[in-house]
Amino acid sequence: MTESLFYLFIFLATFQLIVKIVLNYVNLNYVRQHQDSVPAEFADKIDLESHKKAAHYTVAKMKFNSVSSAWHYAILMFWIAFGGLNILDQWARGFGLDTTPTALVFVCALALISMALGLPESIYHTFVLEEKFGFNKTTPKLFVMDKLKELLVSAIIGLPFFYALMKIMEGLGSSWWFFAATFMLAFQFIMLWAYPRFIAPLFNKFSKLEDQTLVTEIEKLLNRIDLNFKDYYVMNASIRSSHGNAYFTGFGKNKRIVFFDTLLKTLAPQEIVSVLAHELGHLKRKHILKSMAIMSVFLYLGFYILGVSYDSEVFYLAHNVQNSSSYMALILFMYLVPVYTFPMTPVSAWFSRRNEYEADEFAVKNASGQELISALVKMYKDNSSSLTPSPVYSKFYFSHPPAAERVSFIKSQEA
Ligand SMILES: [Zn+2]
């Protein structure tokens, strides 16, 4: 049993790496094959030079992703297959402290090592890859400040959260998994609520829209869809990157729509109204709540499995850990969940694309499909998003429909 579980883990982790690299390669090839001509439906809006730049950018991203996946695989193998977690645990136990301080030493050491191991990748992504294609605006100083803030925020939020989970596991008997899942669910709702208001502002400035003509147009839209929503903000994304975007976030009183300042610079008022209508479509169709509902089913299932594993020696031995403990069970679980759920990626991507279509449909009905298309085309162009991703790749990963399908769907909705 111990051996089969060990080999199942090795098999799935290796399978994940191979699938990632193969898909990257398939996409890279597909994009290269289509780089010499702009697809007909975009030919009047996107020039060949921009199209080629997008292809080169995609190729570079695919290569980067393959290398970083291999790096993550090596780290995972070190921690689990080669017993790295156990070595660290034995070291932490060597201080002879009680369970809670031992857990604290172990978790902090693990977090710091993981952050250090992730640093080269993060530096390369920002200062080499993004820099080369002209997207990076992050200064080394800002980069360091961001990392320090991330560390501080994860310590302030993460450590008490981890401590509470440990106490639930240790003190609530055999049905602890149910309480732990409920606690986790509540925590996620609180984070969803707190993120836009308390955490995001640590990293970016959020201001109200100032452009009065735009505000008037937006108010017309809000009247049309009978919504009293005032929380649309502009975020100074341009301090880090010239990529443009807009998103909907939050929960309860803290829900808001955020425009990147980079996006507002390039879009015309009616295009912005259409993008806003799309984001409000996510709100009106309750997409965040639906995703949370689905996720909570998996959360209870996952914690039930952890509940069974927690008491079983096999669970620890199969992952090369000598001593069982609540904190080790949680950490192992954190490393194993992505490996075991990776095959679900296309399902969640499909679900997300379905939501995007619904939001587009809403935008066409309440704003303008033409304006939405022209906004999207500008976004594809400015972000150097490939117009011709491989169909297999986009089916597997894309949270948004690929350009051609999305535009033709919007056109069909307008008709
Ligand atoms: Zn969307």
pLDDT in the model for residue 249: 80
Q: How far is the CA of 111 from the centre of ligand 1 (A)?
A: 33
Spatial neighbors of 236 by CB under 8 A, at least 6 apart, are 204, 205, 207, 261
Q: How far is the CA of 278 from the centre of ligand 1 (A)?
A: 6
Could you tell me if 343 and 259 are in contact, meaning their C-beta atoms sit under 8 angstroms apart? no
Task: Place 182 in a pLDDT band, splitting at 50, 70 and 90.
Answer: very high
Q: How far is the CA of 247 from the centre of ligand 1 (A)?
A: 7
Residue 120 has pLDDT above 90, yes or no: yes
Q: Where are the domains of the chain?
A: 2-179+289-347
Residue 51 has pLDDT above 80, yes or no: yes
Q: How far is the CA of 354 from the centre of ligand 1 (A)?
A: 10
**Using one digit for the tens of pLDDT, what is the confidence trace for 206-245?**
998 888 888 888 888 888 888 877 788 899 999 898 888 8
Take residue 54 and report the two structure tokens written for it.
């997008």
Could you tell me if 6 and 51 are in contact, meaning their C-beta atoms sit under 8 angstroms apart? no
Task: Place 404 in a pLDDT band, splitting at 50, 70 and 90.
Answer: very high
Name which of 282, 295, 224, 277 is nearest 255 in CA terms.
282
pLDDT in the model for residue 311: 87
213 to each of 65, 196, 220, 404, how far by Cα in Å? 42, 26, 11, 32
Could you tell me if 244 and 135 are in contact, meaning their C-beta atoms sit under 8 angstroms apart? no
Could you tell me if 360 and 408 are in contact, meaning their C-beta atoms sit under 8 angstroms apart? no
Q: How far is the CA of 359 from the centre of ligand 1 (A)?
A: 6
Take residue 403 and report the two structure tokens written for it.
């350009």
Q: How far is the CA of 49 from the centre of ligand 1 (A)?
A: 28
Give the span between the Cα atoms of 406 and 108, in whole angstroms: 44
Strand order in the sheet with 232-235: 206-208, 232-235, 256-260, 246-249
pLDDT in the model for residue 296: 93
pLDDT (mean) for 354-366: 95
Task: Place 348 in a pLDDT band, splitting at 50, 70 and 90.
Answer: very high
Q: Angle at Cα 371 formed by Cα 284 and Cα 351, nearest 5°? A: 40
Could you tell me if 231 and 276 are in contact, meaning their C-beta atoms sit under 8 angstroms apart? no
pLDDT (mean) for 409-413: 93
Per the model's pLDDT, the better-predicted residue between 213 and 9 turns out to be 9
Q: Tell me what the pLDDT averaged over the chain comes to.
A: 92
Q: How far is the CA of 122 from the centre of ligand 1 (A)?
A: 26
**Using one digit for the tens of pLDDT, what is the confidence trace for 242-298?**
888 888 887 777 778 888 888 888 898 899 999 989 988 998 899 888 988 999 999
pLDDT in the model for residue 242: 87
Q: How far is the CA of 238 from the centre of ligand 1 (A)?
A: 21
**Using one digit for the tens of pLDDT, what is the confidence trace for 56-78?**
999 999 999 999 999 999 999 99
pLDDT (mean) for 372-391: 92
Could you tell me if 28 and 59 are in contact, meaning their C-beta atoms sit under 8 angstroms apart? yes
Q: How far is the CA of 291 from the centre of ligand 1 (A)?
A: 13
Q: Angle at Cα 210 formed by Cα 194 and Cα 361, nearest 5°? A: 70
Q: How far is the CA of 398 from the centre of ligand 1 (A)?
A: 12
